[in-house]
Amino acid sequence: MGIKTYRYLLLMGLKNLWKNKVYSMSTVVTMSVCIFLFSLFYATALNVDSAVQKTEEQISVLIFFEPGVTDQRIEEIGELIRQRPEVKETVYISAEDAWADFQSSVFPEEANLKGILNEDNPLENSDNYEVYLNRIKDQPSFVEFAEGLEGVRSVKHSTDAVNALVKLENVITSVVMGMTGILIIISAVLIRNTLVVGIEAQREKTRVMRLMGAREAFVRIPFILEGIVMGLIGVAVPLAVFWFSYRWGADFMSKEFHLFQDGIRLIPLGRLYPRMVRACVLLGAGVGVTGSLFAMHKLKDKKSRTAS
Amino acid sequence: MANVNENEMIQLEHVSKIYPTGQKAITQLDLTIGRGEFVLLEGESGAGKTTLLDLLLKDTEPTEGTIRVNGIDTGRLKKRQIYRYRRMFGVVFQDFKLFSDFTVYENVAFALRVSETAPEKIRGKVLEALREVGLERKAKLYPGQLSGGECQRAAVARAIVNQPAILLADEPTGNLDRKNAMEVMWLLHRINEGGTTVLVVSHSQEILKNMKKRIITLQHGRIVKDSSRGGYFYGN
């Protein structure tokens, strides 16, 4: 079929949509609500994921060495750690660095300690590797590995924080996936039902088309396009609403919670929106096509007539 | 293997059709219709007339027997070939089956769009078909604005716009008054004179008498009379 035939079929689909406008409208509105809810869940998931990533960047595992371990062994341990795929960055902190860091953070006035501790370093034997991991959930296996290394005295890590973050991320991901599944089903069933109403209303027309020698594609494409158009409108509306809501929400958060600005700042709209558009368009088109395909079996020519 | 005669447009051999309900619509039917012939099909309700048209259109499958149309054995057609096979036919229905949301022009053009005619040829062909049925001035009207006779003439225009080899008309005058009925039959006669094979289902005794064409009478799915063979005969 040529491009002009497809254009004609698209117009037929739009005409069907208009003829069936009450059902089409209610489907688009319900679908818009579903997709808007999805966009909220998805935005929440992305923001939680971003917050978790930020936290991951700050959480490290500290590896301390046995007293008297040689510098060569410390370097070997460093090499073994760096070879691990889950390791993002390793920083070696000597006992002197640790003590200097402690003094500067707890007693900024260095003079206060002079003469009290003389040149003694209370953090002697505190040489350590500060290890940053790519994903926080890899921490338990890495800790187990580090604890098994010869020359390692202890491994300090934040199991509770890790577990809480991983759990939170998992819960949010599961909720988003579950809600997405439910919304897809609701929207697809709605589109299917609307199309079935249209198909039933045009059963005679499709029969005449077939008797005229229409290809199956010619009969079906207007209905499929109708479903896709409903899906796309059902996506465009919530995406527009989301744009304004999120912008308002981000402004509100930064003004009202400015004290915690760094902790709860939302992902900028410019960075989040392209992902949101992709996800919603895929969802809308997918729902439209799925609903249309479910409705297609109704297009089969039913012959229950008797002889005349 | 059956003989394929080039003068034969439609050939049915031992065709039966039994519906899933058990109703026998057609029983062991043998029928030959020549190329360019005009045939009237009559019979009471349930005689199998419409089933016969459905079988020819491959809108239903025979339970047994062979149907050959224009040399094509319909039993050998694959599903994906049926649409092309159906483009050999033009179909006229008793209740017109025009699309109420399309103008007369659009209704006729639709048959060409369905058969994927090049868009630039559509206008010329539609106007020619409308001229042939005398509706060129009503092209922009909707079916609801036409009389019954005009609707049926529009339906005929839609059926012939593709210049089909065979025109099937299922009680085309059933909803028309006498004058309009005769006009439609005259139109079908003219189309037949152009070389199109025409098969018309009709109940009207007046039409059957006046048309002076071959008349086939069906009863309980069997041919009980064929005027081309003269008089009655039973069984096949």
Contact at 8 Å (CB) between A127 and A99?
Answer: no
Q: From chain A, pick out residues whose CB is under 8 angstroms from the CB of B57.
A: 211
**CA A242, CA A38: separation in Å to the nearest integer?**
10
Averaged pLDDT score across all residues of chain B:
89
Residue B175 near residue B153 (C-beta atoms within 8 A): no
Contact yes or no for B99 and A4 at CB 8 A: no
Q: Does A38 touch chain B (CB under 8 A)?
A: no
Asked whether the ipTM of the predicted complex exceeds the cut of 0.95, the reply is no
Between B47 and A292, name the one with better pLDDT: B47
Q: pLDDT tens-digit profile of A65-120?
A: 888 888 888 889 889 989 998 888 888 887 777 777 766 766 666 555 555 555 66
Question: How does pLDDT run across A225-265, given as a tens digit for each residue?
Answer: 887 788 788 889 999 999 999 988 888 877 776 655 455 57
* Burial class, A263, CB count within 10 angstroms (exposed 0-12 / middle 13-18 / buried 19+): exposed
Are the beta carbons of B51 and A307 separated by less than 8 Å? yes
Which member of A2, A212, A305 has the closest CB to residue B114? A212
Residues of chain B positioned with their CB less than 8 A from the CB of A215:
83, 116
pLDDT of residue B233: 42
What average pLDDT does the segment A195-215 reach?
Answer: 84
Pairs of CB atoms within 8 A across A/B: 76
Count of domains observed in chain B: 1
- When pLDDT is cut at 50, 70 and 90, the band that residue B205 belongs to is confident
- Please compute the mean of the pLDDT values over residues B213-236 and round it to a whole number: 75
Least confident span in A155-164, A198-207, B111-120: A155-164
Backbone region of residue B67 per phi and psi (left: phi > 0; alpha: psi in -120 to 50; beta: other values): beta
For residue A211, the chain B residues in CB contact (below 8 A) are 57, 59, 86, 89, 91
Domain A60-157 coded CATH 3.30.70.3040: yes
Q: Which residue has the higher pLDDT, B52 or A48?
A: B52
Give the best residue of B113, B162, B170 to mutate against chain A (max A CB count within 10 A): B113
- B48 neighbourhood in chain A, CB within 8 Å: 307-308
Give the DSSP per-residue string, chain B. -----TTEEEEEEEEEEE-TTS-EEEEEEEEEEETT-EEEEEE-TTSSHHHHHHHHTTSS--SEEEEEETTEEGGG--GGGHHHHHTTEEEE-TT----TTS-HHHHHHHHHHHTT--HHHHHHHHHHHHHHTT-GGGTTS-GGGS-HHHHHHHHHHHHHTT--SEEEEESTTTTS-HHHHHHHHHHHHHHHHTT-EEEEE---HHHHHHH--EEEEEETTEEEEETTT-SB----
- Residue A205 at interface with chain B, using a CB cutoff of 8 Å: yes
Domain ranges of chain A: 3-55+163-299, 60-157
Residue A118: its pLDDT value, please? 55
Contact A307 B221 (CB under 8 A): yes
Contacts of B87 in chain A (CB under 8 A): 212-213
Mean per-residue pLDDT, A29-50: 85
Residue A291, both tokens: 């609903």
The residue of A209, A211, A302, A304 whose CB has the most chain B CBs within 10 angstroms, and thus the best one to mutate to test that interface, is A211
In a domain, B74, yes or no: no
Chain A residue with CA closest to B164: the answer is A212
Of A8, A205, A212, the CB nearest to B111: A212
pLDDT of residue A300: 67
**Average pLDDT of the residues in B163-170:** 95
Give a yes or no: residue B124 inside a domain.
yes
Q: With an 8 Å Cβ cutoff, are B23 and A2 in contact?
A: no
Closest CA to B226 of B12, B66, B42: B42
A contact test, residue of B103, B114, B163 with most A CBs within 10 A: B114
Residues of chain B in contact with residue A209, where contact means CB-CB under 8 angstroms, are 114
Question: Domain range for residue B110?
Answer: 99-147+154-161
CA distance A246 to A252: 10
Q: Does the structure show a pLDDT above 90 at B122?
A: yes
- Please report which confidence band the pLDDT of residue B1 belongs to, taking 50, 70 and 90 as the band edges: very low
Of A4, A208, A213, the CB nearest to B83: A213
Residue B215 has pLDDT above 90, yes or no: yes
Q: Which residue of B has its CA nearest to A207?
A: B59
Contact call for B19 and A307, based on CB within 8 A:
yes
Average pLDDT of chain A, as a whole number:
80
**Does residue B114 lie in a domain region?**
yes
Chain A partners of B86 at a C-beta cutoff of 8 Å?
A: 210-213
Across the interface, whether the CB atoms of A210 and B116 are under 8 A apart is answered: no
pLDDT of residue B90: 95
**Average pLDDT, stretch A47-52?**
80
Q: Judge: A4–B119 Cβ closer than 8 Å, yes or no.
A: yes
Q: Give the distance, in angstroms, between the CA of residue A300 and the centroid of all CA atoms in the same chain.
A: 40
Q: Which of A250-254, B63-67, B196-200 has the weakest average pLDDT?
A: A250-254
Identify the pLDDT of residue B218. 94
Question: For residue A43, what are its two tokens?
Answer: 């935005």
Q: Which two tokens stand for residue B141?
A: 């009207």
Which region among A293-302, B25-34, B125-134 has the lowest average model confidence (pLDDT)? Answer: A293-302
On the question of pLDDT at A196 being above 90, the answer is no
The lowest-confidence range among A111-125, B44-58, B79-93, B129-143 is A111-125
Q: How far is A299 from chain B (nearest CA, A)?
A: 15
